[in-house]
Amino acid sequence: MLIIEPVENMRVTIAAMLVKLSFGKVIQAKNGAEALVILDKGHINIVISEYNLPKVNGIELLRHIRSNYETSRIPFVMLSSTIEQNEVLLAIQHGVSEYVVKPFSIKILQKYLISSMENPIKSTASLLSTYKENAITQSEIVQEKPVILVVDDVPDIIHVIADVLRKDYKVKGVVSGEKALKICQSKSQPDLILLDIMMPGMDGLELCKIIKTDPLTQHITIIFLTALNQPEKVVEGLSLGAVDYITKPINPKITKARVKTHINSILNQKLLRSQLDTMIDNISLRDEFDRIIQNDLKSPISHLLAGIEDILKSKKNSNVVATIAQSLKLSCSSLSQQVSNMGILYKIEDGSYKLSPEIFDLSLLVIDVIEKYSLLIERKNLELKTEFNGQHKVKGEASLTSSIISSLLQNAIEAAPNGSVIKLSLENKAQLAYLKLTNRGSIPQEMNKVFFEKYSTSGKKDASGIGTYSAKLMTEIQLGTIELNSSIQGETTINLSLPASN
């Protein structure tokens, strides 16, 4: 893991957070130029980088990582102290995994690191679900009452403060620094601490120092409770990281006003993060939709327009018109299927797709798909050899399976050299139905591992990289498997299995 942060104490703090989270070896760099040297040596699996870096800035670093095949899918988390829409847009356009606003807690960092590892280049559905989770208003945030921890060795003072604040906040109270520390280090951390400076045992200053030097707790806001004759203690406490102080005996109106000011700051920070997530999601969704429109749907629409033009030119030749009509039918079918697949894909990705399995004959479905692509096969002078006899009953969704086989066969036709042979076989074995599709033409070795990943295009011009990814998801939701085998002899084989029905 590589951290690039020009401010040393921030860099050390992030490194300490990562150690706490058991992320293994952490390498640090103070500028983009140092980071490039480290990256060129390899063995970096995650990058966390400040946006504004000296020498080579965060965007240039991100662009370098995404343009290099060896590093193109490394999770990249961008950090920034400000939110400028143009900066966020630029980061999204260059493939940032997550964008985190400073300051942040260890829990927030952990959340975004996990998300970036699961989706280095985010998928649409994950963006949709994140959008739904994070598109919240400040009023919704306020509905979750902020938690205030009152720490004072005098129980009566805790009761007085609790009475003043409990209408607007969830108030907890403890009488020692040791007990307060346990709460702060637990999963139920407070948003704000009202902390007495003078206490037996662990006093307020000692507790403040521990909280503010621990990556797990340093985000917690601290306001000191102090006597009028302790100005030097207040100064020391503020230097340790406290944000304010309230004198005892407390004035209810002043206490409520000061607590409200700092709680509002905390809520605004939460809202800021939410708005950033929403902005990133909206930008990413728009970019991905543009990509699909430009690549996936452009080709069949172009075929339709060209076919209509050919019909107008050849309207007196019935044979030519019939051939063109068949081509137009294929383009319409392809366009309809791709539009349908977009909606299905989103639902599969976010877990909302409801499978409706049925028993159908895989061999009949394969014959229908082959017929649909017969004109393309003829145009390339390909020979399609099939090997299957009788029925091959499977349990799944016929429409999903048709989309899978259509995508795989279209890929095979496009990849196969003119005049070559494509082989397609079916067999049932051990409660599974197997489909094997082989064509001439091998896939680059470096593409084997990412062939079924989203946006993986195998170098095909104007390809979106959605087809094989969709085929994989549609197979797996039917409890099937799909594998690629590209041999050095120049052949590519796809092995597909689906649950058979006796």
Q: What is the pLDDT of residue 108?
A: 82
Q: Look at strands 432-440 and 421-429 and give their pairing.
A: antiparallel
pLDDT digits (tens, 9 = 90+) for 212-257: 888 778 889 999 999 867 788 889 989 998 999 999 999 999 999 9
CATH number reported for the structural domain that contains residue 216 in this entry: 3.40.50.2300
Q: Please enumerate in sequence order all residues whose Cβ is within 8 A of that of 489, keeping only pairs 6 or more positions apart, or say none.
A: 442
Are residues 98 and 189 part of one domain? no
Tokens representing 264? 């509002």
Residue 287 inside a domain? The answer is no
User: Which of 287, 320, 343 corresponds to the end of one domain?
Assistant: 343
Q: What is the pLDDT of residue 229?
A: 77
Tokens representing 417? 């050299």
Measured distance CA(157)–CA(363) in Å, rounded: 80
Q: What is the pLDDT of residue 288?
A: 56
Has this prediction a pTM greater than 0.85? no
Q: What is the pLDDT of residue 387?
A: 93
Are residues 104 and 22 part of one domain? yes
Measured distance CA(188)–CA(173) in Å, rounded: 14
User: Which of 58, 90, 121 corresponds to the end of one domain?
Assistant: 121
Are residues 115 and 60 part of one domain? yes
DSSP 116-127: HHH-SS--HHHH
Are residues 454 and 335 part of one domain? no
Residue 83 inside a domain? The answer is yes
Q: What is the mean pLDDT of residues 289-308?
A: 58
C-beta atoms surrounding 258 within 10 Å: 18
Q: What is the pLDDT of residue 319?
A: 67
pLDDT digits (tens, 9 = 90+) for 130-176: 434 444 444 444 457 899 999 999 999 999 999 999 999 999 999 99
Are residues 183 and 50 part of one domain? no
Beta sheet of 147-151, edge-to-edge order: 170-174, 147-151, 192-196, 221-227, 244-248
Are residues 324 and 225 part of one domain? no
Burial class (CB in 10 A: 0-12, 13-18, 19+), 60: middle
Are residues 319 and 205 part of one domain? no
CATH number reported for the structural domain that contains residue 390 in this entry: 3.30.565.10
Tokens representing 42? 């390899």
270 or 126: which carries more pLDDT confidence? 270
Which contiguous run of DSSP H or E holds residue 3? strand 2-4
Residue 127 inside a domain? The answer is no
Are residues 386 and 339 part of one domain? no
Q: How many domains does the chain have?
A: 4
C-beta atoms surrounding 434 within 10 Å: 19
- Return the ∠ at Cα 184 (arms to 81 and 198), rounded to 5°: 105
Measured distance CA(262)–CA(388) in Å, rounded: 72
Q: Please enumerate in sequence order all residues whose Cβ is within 8 A of that of 351, keeping only pairs 6 or more positions apart, or say none.
A: none
Are residues 359 and 339 part of one domain? no
495 in helix, strand or coil?
strand
Measured distance CA(51)–CA(47) in Å, rounded: 12
Residue 389 inside a domain? The answer is yes
Name the band, by pLDDT with cuts 50, 70 and 90, for residue 129.
very low
pLDDT digits (tens, 9 = 90+) for 332-381: 666 666 666 677 877 787 678 888 999 999 999 999 999 888 888 988 99
C-beta atoms surrounding 313 within 10 Å: 11
Mean pLDDT lowest for which of 345-359, 395-409, 422-436, 462-476? 462-476
Which contiguous run of DSSP H or E holds residue 48? strand 47-50
User: Which of 283, 318, 343 corresponds to the end of one domain?
Assistant: 343
Residue 289 inside a domain? The answer is no
Q: What is the pLDDT of residue 89?
A: 76
Residue 226 inside a domain? The answer is yes
Q: What is the pLDDT of residue 101?
A: 81
List of long-range contacts for 133-141, beta carbons under 8 Å, 24+ apart: 134/273, 134/274, 134/277, 134/278, 134/281, 135/274, 135/278, 136/271, 136/274, 137/271, 138/267, 138/268, 138/271, 141/267, 141/270, 141/271, 141/274
Name the band, by pLDDT with cuts 50, 70 and 90, for residue 311.
low
Q: What is the mean pLDDT of residues 36-65?
A: 91
Residue given tokens 């709680």 in the structure block: 263
**Domain span at residue 305?**
296-343
Are residues 172 and 108 part of one domain? no
Percentage with pLDDT > 90 across the chain? 41
Q: What is the pLDDT of residue 269?
A: 73
Residue given tokens 């452009």 in the structure block: 298
Q: What is the pLDDT of residue 217?
A: 87
Nearest Cα residue to 76 out of 121, 32, 39: 121
Name the band, by pLDDT with cuts 50, 70 and 90, for residue 306.
low
Q: Please enumerate in sequence order all residues whose Cβ is within 8 A of that of 294, keeping only pairs 6 or more positions apart, or say none.
A: none
Q: What is the pLDDT of residue 125?
A: 40
pLDDT at 127 over 50: no
Mean pLDDT of all residues in the chain? 82
Are residues 66 and 21 part of one domain? yes
Residue 128 inside a domain? The answer is no
246 Ramachandran zone, left/alpha/beta (phi>0; psi -120 to 50): beta
pLDDT at 328 over 70: no
Residue 273 inside a domain? The answer is no
Give the number of residues written for the chain: 502
Are residues 252 and 310 part of one domain? no
